[in-house]
Amino acid sequence: MSLHNEILELQQNNPASVELTLEDISVDPAVPIDLVGKTVFVSVKKRTDYRIDDTEALITSAITVHTAPLLGLTTWVLTAAQTLIPLGHYKADVRIYTGLTDYGNSFTFYVDIVPIVTTRLT
């Protein structure tokens, strides 16, 4: 899933696994970003959080093992605890690093935290 400027819906207090396709969209057609040896950081913040760091981020993840790194494919795995944030509309971004080298935002997107539709007791 390419999330560039898209909305991702996650259920509150529910684990999730999101396949991400990371592409260089500065060229036409877009090409996959080679993720070999790179760490993908995903941050989810309040829409009013304009800090350049993640000190007030509600969700942070560092992905070091990728699904198909040469194709720009990785999986963002979230625990139920990570999605246990207030219901609402948030902004998010992805940054790619090799050691201390920042490859910049590959994209920004939005996350909606929604209630679980049905809870089964039996």
Sequential pLDDT tens for the chain (122 residues): 456 668 999 999 999 999 998 888 778 888 888 999 999 999 999 999 999 889 999 999 999 999 999 999 999 999 999 999 999 999 999 999 887 777 666 678 999 999 998 777 77
Q: What is the per-residue burial (b if ≥16 Cβ within 10 Å, else e) of 96-122?
A: beeeeeebeebbebbbebeeeeeeeee
Q: Which domains are seen in the chain, by residue range?
A: 7-114 (2.60.40.3350)
CA distance 88 to 24: 29
Q: Which tokens go with 53? A: 């760091």
Q: Which tokens go with 5? A: 């400027």
CA distance 60 to 78: 10
pTM of the model: 0.86
